[in-house]
Every structure is written in structure tokens, then in C-alpha cells.
Structure 1
């Protein structure tokens, strides 16, 4: 059971880093630091968008952007950290 919990925790951690990478890449594109016509940047951006957009979409419906600032990744990261901590809090009781 502990191995499964560690695997789920690791997957949550990887997804959090993908959310952070997506946010940073979107800022770099918005400020014209990187160009999306570059094939590598386009491929990475497309991958990050396809991976992170499905869980972010319901949050964006509930929390609108505030003056061009999208806080949905922050909300999702906080929810994922909460769920991971909750998982480890109640896991020892189940074993």
C-alpha cells in the first residue's frame, strides 16, 4: 500500500511541475521571450497545454481571470497539495 501511495504522490508532484512549466512558458510567449514558430517551443507548448488544460478548464469556469491574471494553476496546485497531504494523513489508518 505504501508503494502505491508513493507512486501517486510522485505523479502529483510531476503534474505540479508540469503546471509550473506551462505557466512559465505562457509568460515567456506573452512577453516575446520565446517564439512559438520555433518547432521545439511549439511542441513543448502543445504538450503542456494538452496535459494541463483538462483539469484547469473546470477551475477557469468557476474562477474568472482577474485583469488578465489567470490564477487557476495556483488553485489547482493548492488542491493537489491538499489531496496529497490528505492521502498520507489517512493512509496509515487504512493499513
Structure 2
């Protein structure tokens, strides 16, 4: 029973660590999406540093948001893809964490 208990504890600890990683990853990516949105409101060319940050955020966020832009057309000047993208991330996080929790 001792070896089985240690194995079970190790599996539970690993599952918890993976769940935390997924949660932190989603949280950081959502913050990057929000920063991308805010950076898009600042006029281009205002600062070379801001342009580097804006390019980084574009490179990180745009491929993911493009998936939703293909499905959901913009409503005039309003782009709903970041909202749908954030909701999808949270739903995916819950799904992955639930599946990992069921491993136990």
C-alpha cells in the first residue's frame, strides 16, 4: 500500500501542477490580449519602444484572434473577436482542468 499511496500522491501533485500551469498560461494570455487591445488605441508612430511592444503583442495575439475573425465579422468599427477569444480561453481552461482532475 505504501508504494501505491506514493504513486497516487505523485499523480495528484502532478495533476495539480498541470492545472495551475494551464490556469496561469490562460491568465497571462488574456492579459496579453487586453494589452493588445489597449495598444491598438494608441496612435501609431508615437514611440519606437511602443512600436516594438505593439509588434510583439501583434505577433503573439493576432494568430489566435484571426481564428475568430474568420467566423465572426466585425460589426462596423467594433471587433468582437477578442471578447469571443477570451471567453473561448476560459471555457477551454475549465475543460482541460476538469479533464485533468478526472485523471485522479
Query: Among residues 57, 61, 77, which one is paired with 1:68 in the alignment?
Result: 77
* Rg larger for: 2
Q: Is the 8 A contact 2:39 2:54 kept in 1?
A: yes
Report deviation, 1:5.
Answer: 1.6
Report deviation, 1:71.
Answer: 0.9
- 1:41-94 deviations in whole A, cap 9, x for unaligned? 100000000000111112111111111111101000000011112223333221
Q: Which runs of 5+ in 1 are unaligned?
A: 30-34
Output the TM-score relative to the length of structure 1. Answer: 0.86
What secondary structure sits across from 1:64 in the alignment?
Answer: coil
Over the residues paired in the alignment, what is the CA RMSD in angstroms? 1.3
Worse-matched range after superposition: 82-91 or 12-21: 82-91
Report deviation, 1:37.
Answer: 4.3
d(CA) in 2 for partners of 1:19 and 1:61?
A: 17
For 1:5-84, what aligned pairs fall within 5 Å after superposition? 5-29=19-43, 35-84=44-93
